[in-house]
Structure 1
Amino acid sequence: MFKSGFEVMEKVSVITFILLLFSFHHIFAQQPSDTVVQKRAFIIEAEFRPRTEYRNGYRQLKPDTARPAFFTDHRSRIYLTYTTHRFLLHTSFQDVRVWGDQDPQTANGSVQIFETYAESSLSDKISVRIGRQKIIYDNERLFAQNNWRQIGRAHEAVRFMYKSEKLETDLIGAFNQEKGANERNFETDYSPDFKNYKVLAASFIKWKATDKITLITINATDGFQDDSIKREYHFRFTSGGRVTYTDINHYLTVAAYYQYGKTPLGQTVKAYYVQPEVKYQFPHNFTFKLGAEIMSGDDATKSSSVSHSFDPLYGVNHRFMGSMDYFTRFPGDLNNAGLINPYLFIFYELSKKITLRADSHLFYSQNDFVREETVIPKYLGFENDLLFIFNANKFTELHLGYSYMLPTQSMQYIKRTGNYRNWQDWAFLMITFTPELFKWESTVK
């Protein structure tokens, strides 16, 4: 896999070089004249998002002697953006904390950079973005900003982007190292105390075939350094895409991905993911979305050196697999058994400012799971998520949610914790403020 992984990287490098040549051709062919009026702008925006949670079975089943958890945390961000002709510079700072977690008289700060990148437009359609940035592809199933998590997710990467009326493409490359690597003259050892890839390459293509049909493909490889043999890498490949059909009231789509290569621990992987979905908008502001996720897993009744557990990479799970987040870490949260998740989402716009939402999930293990030499039933449970959304004004949005889980004994066996007979519920109140603090614009020749 070491050799094949670098063969892939070589192909990515060739494609990148071709994009660069194509970009430079556009640069020299489309140089703006000295008389073109150029606009400059500098914008400062803020975000403050406090969230209070009541947890009584969130992420794991409640044990018999446990009492509910209750806390408030918040995210505060400052966004700084400067734009001019074919150039953009963006930086955002954030502070994420649980109320009361830090001594209010301490001198230790906790502000960090969430994003910082420069983007240069090489032509009217091609641009390159360099730095720490969110990577959001399609419906965020494989690459997402993970906005529910207060800290979010960003990647340090180089990104080439092409966008026209019907075609949108994206090419990403990243190579990670740890602090102190600049003092190293040989080797590229990467052994952080957290899980992260060493190498990432991904391509995204979105083609609007007709007014109603859109085709999307995502191909990605992420490479992990072997724990024992530092010069050996395990490359995992994920390929697939999605097709959508949209008209006035209907939305039909199906997504499918295949995963192959090696897991981060070096095990051969052959796994798949399928998601069909249909959405229909009824009169009187009702919208229904019906679908299912099928995520492959391992058959515990058979011995195999191959992993069939699909990992949704760096996507969002909170939106797809229930707000109580029982399945967010893969394949651990599924105990390698995989998951089938039929769901029904109902939206009702009570007014222009108020939306009511109800999400229902059924959970089944995709494959057999064995406990004490007995295959357990595949039905894991039912989750219902209720949400009230109030858009008070352009800068203020309130979310009030309540969820409950009705698990089975099989869920307890899969999760290996808690008691499925206990009442499992979770509630939250979150307010998001997003004011624009300052905006300066000017034009120059």
Structure 2
Amino acid sequence: MNRRLLSAFLSASISFVFLQQSVLAQVTFTGQLRTRTELRDGQGSLPLPGAKASLFTNQRTRLNLGYNTDRYRFFVSGQEVRVWGSDQSTISNLEGGKFFMHQAFGEIILSDTSGIKVDNLSLKVGRQEIVYDDARLLGNLDWLQQGRRHDALILKFSHKGWVADAGVAFNQNHGKDTPNRSGNIYNGIPAAPVVPGTNAIGMMYKSMQYGYFARTGSFGKLSALVFKDDFQRMELTEGVNTPVAGVNSRITVGGALFSKVSDKIQVNAAAYYQGNKDRFGNTLDAHNYTADVAYAAGKFVVNPGFDYLSGNNTTEPGRVNRHFDPLYGTPHKFWGLIDYFFVADPYGVEGVPTRSPGLVDIFIRNRYNVNNKLVVMLDLHEFYAANAVADRAVNPVGNLGDSRRLGTEIDFVLNYSLLKELNIEAGYATIFATPALDVLKAPATYKQDRGQWAYLMLNFTPNFLAKQEPRQP
């Protein structure tokens, strides 16, 4: 090989190496494998007399691929969720598809191309997680193995501590236009056992629009949310709810404050109002208030607070629905790990969500950082109904009187980071219920007065393109 050819070969090789490094610097490729073994003996609802505890393992597997430039971002996240053994030893067609696209979006950076000098102005389009503040009303519901995502378009703005986002979504069942499949009708009720939304709402929105605004500074963060979701109207036809033209629109407005008073004290508060119509077309007049204080003393953090979610007078049902629904947030994070409130399982007299008396949660969360790898958490919840709980027609537990107390829950969690990419978490939750809680959980029959739940979770999150450190001998 002559010198000229050798020089050209070396130059091409060096150029290829630098080009490869440049391309890889714009690519992200990560994964997640999360297994959770659960022992359920009254998780979600009180167990029936004689019921046996169940034991199983479920698994989430994700692959995330992203590509970033100064003009756009592209990201896809595919995932598979399953219970170990649900396919037996082969793939069963009866199980349906378990692999689906969790996220798939593109984000166009407008601030670099339009001449607008701001930190960020972008348009994000596609399937994506929508998470704001503490995920109370809008969150990715990451605890659930399937998670939550939306097919939406969001215009995002941020500059020097100011944030303003505007998002829209429009859902349809198909793209056909035939006489018996009108493109204007959306059936947002999927086949069982899928239950979208929160509090057993049972119906996905047809469309939604929202505006989110926030200001971050030395005081902390102040935010405001205006959210409207529209539900396809339903008519009872021969005993079956059938979607018809038109929508019922629900509007939620409010704001939150996350204030750092000092290095040791943080105060959080939020207030939201829901009005206009519920998905059935009833007049809606509901609200949610919450406040808590976090105090840090060395490695220990104590966090007392309360939540108030309005509900209906179940003894004298009215024409106005005062039940507050926490939209598309993360109930597991706020109202007890055992998930008795505002999740898929119904919460209301005889299991009817529209007969929900609301909820008052007085809590104290405790966190102790043993070291940089081990964290211990102990939460206590005292639950009350926001309104009196009506006796059901056939009430084996007797007269409830004026008691609104629902029960006491204790949650205990150990979290250990074995490696940067491997986390182990174990938890135990138990609730000591009153007869009033029995009345509010389906099925409408006498149940045990205590539920419990335990889990062991392994979370492996590799970064496939990260530079690996040499292993020490």
TM-score by length of 2: 0.81
Work out the CA distance in 1 between the residues paired with 2:411 and 2:384.
18
Preserved contact between residue 376 and residue 410 of structure 1 (Cα < 8 Å)? no
Q: Give the direction of change, closer, same or farther, for the CA distance of 1:330–1:102 in structure 2 (3 Å limit).
A: closer
Aligned length: 402
Work out the CA distance in 2 between the residues paired with 1:160 and 1:377.
48
DSSP 3-state at the match of 2:347: helix
1:323-379 deviation digits (Å, cap 9, x = unpaired): 000113489414410000011000001111000000110110000111058545100
2:425 corresponds to 1:399: yes
DSSP 3-state at the match of 1:355: strand
Work out the CA distance in 1 between the residues paired with 2:411 and 2:177.
48
Work out the CA distance in 2 between the residues paired with 1:193 and 1:278.
40
1:292-335 deviation digits (Å, cap 9, x = unpaired): 11000011233411000000000110010000001134894144
Superposition RMSD in Å: 2.2
Aligned residue among 46, 63, 86 for 2:71: 86
DSSP 3-state at the match of 1:310: coil
Work out the CA distance in 2 between the residues paired with 1:303 and 1:330.
23
Preserved contact between residue 205 and residue 217 of structure 1 (Cα < 8 Å)? yes
* Deviation of the 1:273 alpha carbon: 0.1
2:128 corresponds to = 133
Largest Rg, 1 or 2: 2
1:33 corresponds to = none
1:424 corresponds to = 451
Preserved contact between residue 331 and residue 338 of structure 1 (Cα < 8 Å)? no
Work out the CA distance in 1 between the residues paired with 2:281 and 2:144.
29
One-letter code aligned to 2:389: F
Structure with higher RCO (Cα < 8 A, 6+ apart): 1
1:226 corresponds to = 233
Gaps of 5+ in 2: 1-21, 112-118, 191-202, 236-242, 350-355, 394-398, 468-473
Aligned residue among 181, 201, 205 for 2:213: 205
Work out the CA distance in 2 between the residues paired with 1:235 and 1:330.
21
Q: Give the direction of change, closer, same or farther, for the CA distance of 1:45–1:278 in structure 2 (3 Å limit).
A: same
Preserved contact between residue 309 and residue 331 of structure 1 (Cα < 8 Å)? no
Alignment of 1:275-290 (within 5 A): 275-283=290-298, 285-290=299-304
Between stretches 145-154 and 99-108, larger displacement belongs to: 99-108
* Deviation of the 1:170 alpha carbon: 1.0
1:156-202 deviation digits (Å, cap 9, x = unpaired): 00001011221011111000001244668964110143220001011
The percentage of aligned residue pairs carrying the same residue is 29
Work out the CA distance in 2 between the residues paired with 1:241 and 1:232.
30
Work out the CA distance in 1 between the residues paired with 2:406 and 2:360.
10
One-letter code aligned to 2:98: S
Work out the CA distance in 2 between the residues paired with 1:201 and 1:355.
39
Work out the CA distance in 2 between the residues paired with 1:331 and 1:148.
16
2:116 corresponds to = none
Gaps of 5+ in 1: 1-36, 441-445
DSSP 3-state at the match of 2:80: strand
1:433 corresponds to = 460
Work out the CA distance in 2 between the residues paired with 1:67 and 1:327.
22
2:328 corresponds to 1:314: yes
DSSP 3-state at the match of 2:452: strand
1:379-431 deviation digits (Å, cap 9, x = unpaired): 00000000000011110111100111111111111214465555421100000
Between stretches 332-341 and 272-281, larger displacement belongs to: 332-341
One-letter code aligned to 1:219: V
Work out the CA distance in 2 between the residues paired with 1:136 and 1:156.
14
1:111 corresponds to = 99
Runs of 4+ in 1 over 3 A off after TM superposition: 37-40, 180-187, 329-332, 372-376, 416-423
One-letter code aligned to 1:117: F
Aligned residue among 328, 349, 362 for 1:342: 362
One-letter code aligned to 1:156: D
* Deviation of the 1:439 alpha carbon: 5.8
Preserved contact between residue 408 and residue 420 of structure 1 (Cα < 8 Å)? no
Preserved contact between residue 226 and residue 232 of structure 1 (Cα < 8 Å)? yes
1:424-445 deviation digits (Å, cap 9, x = unpaired): 21100000000011269xxxxx
Preserved contact between residue 40 and residue 84 of structure 1 (Cα < 8 Å)? no
Work out the CA distance in 1 between the residues paired with 2:252 and 2:464.
41
Preserved contact between residue 340 and residue 366 of structure 1 (Cα < 8 Å)? yes
Work out the CA distance in 2 between the residues paired with 1:421 and 1:107.
36
DSSP 3-state at the match of 2:438: helix
* Deviation of the 1:111 alpha carbon: 1.4
DSSP 3-state at the match of 2:362: strand
DSSP 3-state at the match of 1:118: strand
Preserved contact between residue 169 and residue 205 of structure 1 (Cα < 8 Å)? yes
Q: Give the direction of change, closer, same or farther, for the CA distance of 1:111–1:332 in structure 2 (3 Å limit).
A: closer
Between stretches 409-418 and 368-377, larger displacement belongs to: 368-377
DSSP 3-state at the match of 1:345: strand
DSSP 3-state at the match of 1:371: coil
Preserved contact between residue 327 and residue 334 of structure 1 (Cα < 8 Å)? no
Work out the CA distance in 2 between the residues paired with 1:182 and 1:256.
43
Preserved contact between residue 258 and residue 266 of structure 2 (Cα < 8 Å)? yes
Preserved contact between residue 61 and residue 424 of structure 1 (Cα < 8 Å)? yes
DSSP 3-state at the match of 2:47: coil
2:186 corresponds to = 190
* Deviation of the 1:55 alpha carbon: 0.5
DSSP 3-state at the match of 2:234: coil
Work out the CA distance in 2 between the residues paired with 1:385 and 1:321.
11
Preserved contact between residue 78 and residue 100 of structure 2 (Cα < 8 Å)? yes
Alignment of 1:106-185 (within 5 A): 106=91, 110-123=98-111, 124-181=119-176
Work out the CA distance in 1 between the residues paired with 2:362 and 2:348.
16
